[in-house]
Structure 1
Amino acid sequence: MPRPAKGARLHKFKHRPHFYIRDTGKPDRSTGCTSRAEAEKALGAYIATKGRSGAATEPENYTCGEALTVYAEEYAPTVAAPERIGYAIDALLPFWADLKLTHVKGETCRRYAKWRDKSPGTVRRELGTLQAAMNYANREGYVTSAPLVTLPEAPKSRERWLTREEAARLVWTAYRGHKTKHLARFVLIGLYTGTRKDAILRMGFEPSTVGGWFDLERGIMFRMGDGERETKKRRTPAPIPRQLLGHLRRWKASGARWAVEYEGLRIGDVKRSFARIVGDAGLEGVTPHTLKHTAITWALQNGAKTWDVAGFFATSQQTIEKTYGHHATDYMASALDAVERKR
């Protein structure tokens, strides 16, 4: 396992008047400065221009750490959720920082997966960030080409969804639990709208910059807030089911500002508390995302068309057909009819 890179830093030799810049894999460079303050400015200029020469360099002369740094500094600030890129880079740097782009190949990627010791899904996301960083460096003219990472096999899609009896038990457990009544609201919104966890927790009853909101007069759910950036996880508006609309009106009439709140404050996360009510309800393999699986599955089982389901649940039709299609009432109906029909 390669050592984590220390990065560019100042160094002072005992018998030399000037400060030097020391960087992993590169010769020491004099700042020409005898004062620490001036040397710090020189170091800042060095870091700002590191890896940014006018001409593209060859992959064997460019480290993965440099590619990741450029990606974090230049591209990450332009996306809706830069922290996700940051999490991946924090995981990647200890292993990849000093390796050249030419070291990125199947054997190294498999070694990273073994060293990381995380789920294939996690490793795929992290290596995907490395690929994106190298592609960016190539596209922006820092390197002449970008190698391809080797990804672990994609995990199978989760098939877990709740029966109506299980869903009712989960809601009732949350409502009766100590300090978990707010989770009953979270579960109901998830089951009726199939909205993702983070989007639910940001939703309120008035427009805001934090997240989406429920327009109870028009019966429309807006999953995105004012000024929020669109991401790959689409958050399109949708009509509010009448059963949920009744609940929402009662919650707002009671003085609630947020759809899911505790003592008047918006909930930041429900990971631990949700796991607790799942255990108390005697269920297994249920996560907040299971609510989205359940909502889509129920809709297809009730006869909804995949096109309408994709629009309502803000999910691509390809994903609906691939992951949930077998739940549709007309699944392979024409083929079955052809097989059973008399000649």
Structure 2
Amino acid sequence: MKEYDEETQKVLIDRLCAAIGRLDSYFGKYKLGQVTTDLTNGYVTHRAGKTVEGRKGGRVGGKGGSRRDLETLRAAIGHHAKQNLHHGIVHIAMPEKGASRERWLTRSEAARLLWICWRYQEEQTIHRGTNKGIKIKTEKYTLRHVAKFLLIGLYTGTRAASIASASIHKAPGKAYVDLDEGLYYRKRIGHRATNKKQPTMPIPDRLLAHMRRWVDKRIVASHFVEWNGLPVKSVKTGMASAVEKAGLDLSEGNVTPHTLRHTAATWLMQQGVELWQASGYLGMSEKTLIDNYGHHHPDYMRDAASLITQKRKITRSKLGRRVA
């Protein structure tokens, strides 16, 4: 937990406690030796019919939620075994992983979202007088911090936590942006490297110009994404509001902060960027890039598509035999 800020730690602890509560209500009456495949499969069905507290619209849990709960149970059993508190193997049957999210933004969608975030003004309702009930726009641009988050996410494909911690100052717990050299040190200072790769990257010229202007005009105090002069913990609420106001099509999936990473990877592939450069830029393995975004690359299976229609080439050897 030490790799996360205080707010994120609280969210993760709350989620863990909720998962433990659900697991206990189902598995609590059983002993470890009674955990069978049928029992764990039954939990998936049990979980799917339950309304999840805090879920928007009172939605019920699905296979993804039950899988995450069972992963928590598996980790707990593994820890129990490492402490030599039980001997033998207890297998936890897992439901299949759901399909990965592939929602990404077209350039027109991104432009629409940015326009809404930068131009949107807070509205207030008049409560007295002849104009009672009329809404008027204030001088507060309440989504501009989301616009900056969007620009950084779209142009760099950086994870949300590193964007939120991006600062003009070198300090523990912050990702550092060197505006002189044009480099973005995405791994937060003092944090150890994890499997979530966060390599240092060159900042694209257009984004670098924006960042320098934000600092010059004192739009930025210390962090590039701020609300009332303070760094934000999350832009989920603001981004959800912006997506609604922009009227984006959500039939192919919701648009979240992580969608920006999908979008950056997709745009790089559509531009035909070499795999090793794109994977290094995003902090993503080449395999993950190919498996999830490779089909957007202009060279994707082009040789196969062109050769499939050609006749087989026949040549003759010196002996006059036909050679394929």
TM-score range, shorter chain: 0.7 to 0.9
1:196 aligns with 2:159: yes
Task: Extract unaligned runs of 5+ from structure 1.
Answer: 1-76
> Where do 4+ consecutive residues of structure 1 move more than 4 Å?
77-83
Paired residues of 1:170 and 1:277 also in contact (CA < 8 A): yes
What is the aligned partner in structure 2 of residue 299 from structure 1? 268
Paired residues of 2:225 and 2:232 also in contact (CA < 8 A): yes
Paired residues of 1:215 and 1:221 also in contact (CA < 8 A): yes
- Change in Cα spacing, 1:119 to 1:234, as seen in structure 2 (3 Å) is farther
Counterpart AA for 2:45: K
Q: How far apart, CA to CA, are the structure 1 residues paired with 2:32 and 2:275?
A: 43
Counterpart AA for 2:105: L
Q: How far apart, CA to CA, are the structure 2 residues paired with 1:287 and 1:259?
A: 19
What is the aligned partner in structure 2 of residue 265 from structure 1? 230
Paired residues of 2:103 and 2:262 also in contact (CA < 8 A): yes
- Change in Cα spacing, 1:79 to 1:196, as seen in structure 2 (3 Å) is closer
Q: How far apart, CA to CA, are the structure 1 residues paired with 2:38 and 2:183?
A: 51
Q: How far apart, CA to CA, are the structure 2 residues paired with 1:252 and 1:122?
A: 42
1:112-261 aligned at under 5 Å gives the runs 112-117=43-48, 118-178=61-121, 179-255=142-218, 256=220, 257-261=222-226
Match of 2:39 among 94, 108, 117: 108
TM-score (norm 1): 0.72
* Displacement after TM superposition at 1:288 (Å): 1.3
Name the SS of the counterpart of 2:308 in structure 1: helix
1:22-41 aligned at under 5 Å gives the runs none
Q: How far apart, CA to CA, are the structure 1 residues paired with 2:88 and 2:241?
A: 49
1:92 aligns with 2:55: no
Q: How far apart, CA to CA, are the structure 2 residues paired with 1:91 and 1:177?
A: 38
* Displacement after TM superposition at 1:252 (Å): 1.6
Report % sequence identity: 37
Name the SS of the counterpart of 2:103 in structure 1: coil
* Displacement after TM superposition at 1:111 (Å): 2.8
Aligned-residue CA RMSD in angstroms? Answer: 2.1
Deviations 1:264-297 (A, max 9, x none): 1111111111111101101122111111111100
* Displacement after TM superposition at 1:130 (Å): 1.7
Paired residues of 1:170 and 1:278 also in contact (CA < 8 A): yes
Deviations 1:22-81 (A, max 9, x none): xxxxxxxxxxxxxxxxxxxxxxxxxxxxxxxxxxxxxxxxxxxxxxxxxxxxxxx67668
Counterpart AA for 2:265: I
- Change in Cα spacing, 1:135 to 1:85, as seen in structure 2 (3 Å) is farther
Q: How far apart, CA to CA, are the structure 1 residues paired with 2:230 and 2:14?
A: 28
Name the SS of the counterpart of 2:167 in structure 1: coil
Q: How far apart, CA to CA, are the structure 1 residues paired with 2:9 and 2:69?
A: 14
Moved more, 302-311 or 270-279: 302-311
Deviations 1:291-322 (A, max 9, x none): 11111000000011222222111122221111
What is the aligned partner in structure 2 of residue 341 from structure 1? 310
Q: How far apart, CA to CA, are the structure 2 residues paired with 1:79 and 1:226?
A: 11
Moved more, 184-193 or 234-243: 234-243
* Displacement after TM superposition at 1:213 (Å): 1.8
TM-score (norm 2): 0.76
Name the SS of the counterpart of 1:213 in structure 2: strand
Deviations 1:105-143 (A, max 9, x none): 332223323333423223222211221222232234222
Counterpart AA for 1:104: V
* Displacement after TM superposition at 1:89 (Å): 4.7
Paired residues of 2:152 and 2:163 also in contact (CA < 8 A): yes
Match of 1:278 among 219, 243, 255: 243
Q: How far apart, CA to CA, are the structure 2 residues paired with 1:99 and 1:308?
A: 52
Paired residues of 2:197 and 2:283 also in contact (CA < 8 A): yes
